[in-house]
Amino acid sequence: MPYLLRRLGFFLLTLWAALTLNFFIPRFMPGSPLQALRDRTHNKLSPAALEQMLTSYGFKPNENVLVQYVDYLKNMVTGQWGISIGATLGEPVTRIVRQALPWTLGLVGVTTVLAFLLGSLIGTVAGWRRGGRLDSLLPPAFVVTSALPYFWVGLLLILVFSVWTGGALPSDFNYDSGMQPAFTPAFVFSVASHALLPAATILITSIGGWILTMRNNMITTLAEDYVRMGRAKGLSDRRIMTAYAARNAMLPNLAGFAMSLGFVIAGAILVEYVFNYPGLGYLLYNAVQNTDYPLMQALFMLFTVAVLVAVLVCDIAIAILDPRSRERDRSGR
């Protein structure tokens, strides 16, 4: 129980830190939302209208900072994210976000989880079969792929599969322009072909890391006494590999997955930028370019929540798989 409380406290603390950063950064940096808004609307809107737009996401320059802060927190948490003041001037932030969310979830979310699962599987088998020619070739190869920058792999794939093939695979956007979203085979096919290169980019760059960590963990685990005991008991190789070795080797990997989400988000932003894929990362980039504060704030909070949720899921998974963790105190002593 104290463990759960502690985790909850941690989540709330992190969320609060993110929101606070979000609040104070614009206010301490050069430039001001008011000025930006005025520029964007080409001075066409009345001051009252301007002020109304600003207050919609908590920017009340004339009020006490503390009051603003509390209002802001309240707004963020209740989903009142205001109105966009960037390129999509006037649109409610919630709507913009809702349109982009499924694309990022689909592309980045699915490929990341896939890379993790597939990578762990390959790593398990690789660790189990040590010493072959494969084992001396693979690790260096994957060390290399895991250090490649996301955007470079993306650019390379675009060059090879899109430019050189004269456009056989699309390198832009999430579906052919002019199509209406519907569950028709044509649309689905279009979506799939547009998602192929970005997904491949993410998969190629992230799978290497998982394969290597799982392999290393397996090797360390295989040296443990209880694995030898499994052999002594005459259990089948498959049983030892899964229930004795992999199940223990997996645990640090799961913990690592939660910590890797920072990179996942970085990757999402870069890949979406390179491929003009209209997900949340692309949105963030544009919001920053256009000083669209309300959108930026909402996105930053969303990213934080997404990471926290993933951390929570991993924690639960570890609690299920590792009976020791249910009683262990988080400080690791």
Partner 1 sequence: MTALLVDSSTATGAPVRRRGGGLWAAVRGSRKAMVGLAIFLVFAVMALVPQLFTSVRDPNALQFEPGLGSSAEHLLGTTALGQDIFAQLVYGTRQSLVIALVAGFFATVLSVLVGVSAAYLGGVSDETLTMLTNVFLVLPTFPLIIILATYAGKGTLLVILIVLVVTGWSYGANQLRAQALSLRNRDFVESAKVRGERPSYVIFKEVLPTMTSLIVANFLGAALYSVLTAAGLQFLGLGDPNSISWGTMLYWAQSQQALQTGLPQWSLAPGLCVALLGVSFALLNYAFDEIGNPALRPVRSARKRRRLRARRTRAGGP
Partner 2 sequence: MPAAPVLEVRDLRVEYVTTRGAIAAVDGVDLDVHEGEFVGLVGESACGKSTLLFAIAQLLSPPATVRAGSVVFRGRDLVTMTDRQLRSLRWRDYSVVMQSAMNALNPVMSIGAQFEDVLAAHTQMSGRQMSERSVEVLRLVGIDPIHLRSYPHQLSGGMRQRAMIAMALLFTPDLVIMDEPTSALDVVAQRSLMVQIKDLQRRLGFAVVFVTHDMSLVSHFSDRLLVMYAGQVVEAGPTRTVFDRPAHPYSRGLLDAFPSVRGPRVPLTGIPGAPPDLARPPAGCRFHPRCPVAFDDCSHVAPELYQVGEAQARCLLHAPDRPAATAPTVGDEKDEAVEDEAVEHEAVEHEAVEGEEVRR
Q: Which is nearer to partner 2, 16 or 226 (CB)?
A: 226
Shortest distance in whole angstroms from residue 318 CB to partner 2: 11
User: One-letter amino acid identity for 93?
Assistant: V
| Cα atoms in the 13 Å half-sphere on the side-chain side of 187 | 7
Taking the C-alpha atoms of residue 59 and residue 90, their distance in angstroms, rounded to an integer, is 16
Instruction: State residue 17 phi and psi, 5-degree precision.
Output: -60, -45
Size of the site for partner 2 (CB under 8 A): 24
Shortest distance in whole angstroms from residue 254 CB to partner 1: 12
Shortest distance in whole angstroms from residue 176 CB to partner 2: 49
Residue 151 binds what, of partner 2, partner 1, none (CB under 5 to 8 Å, by partner type)?
Answer: partner 1
Task: Compose the 129-168 pattern: x for residues touching partner 2 by CB under 8 A, - for all others.
Answer: --x-------------------------------------
Taking the C-alpha atoms of residue 58 and residue 20, their distance in angstroms, rounded to an integer, is 13
Q: Does 177 bind partner 1 (CB under 8 A)?
A: no
Q: Does 168 bind partner 1 (CB under 8 A)?
A: no
Q: Which is nearer to partner 1, 45 or 312 (CB)?
A: 312
Runs of H (alpha helix) within 133-184: 133-146, 150-157
Q: Which is nearer to partner 1, 22 or 174 (CB)?
A: 22
What's the token pair of residue 323? 């009976």
* Beta-carbon count within 10 A of 278 CB: 17
Taking the C-alpha atoms of residue 270 and residue 92, their distance in angstroms, rounded to an integer, is 25
Residue 68 binds what, of partner 1, partner 2, none (CB under 5 to 8 Å, by partner type)?
Answer: none
Residue (of 203, 248, 205) closest to 113 by Cα position: 203
Q: Does 163 bind partner 1 (CB under 8 A)?
A: yes
Q: Does 329 bind partner 2 (CB under 8 A)?
A: no
- Strand, coil or helix: 92: strand
Chain residues in the site for partner 2 (CB under 8 A): 131, 223-226, 228-236, 239, 243-244, 247-248, 321-324, 327
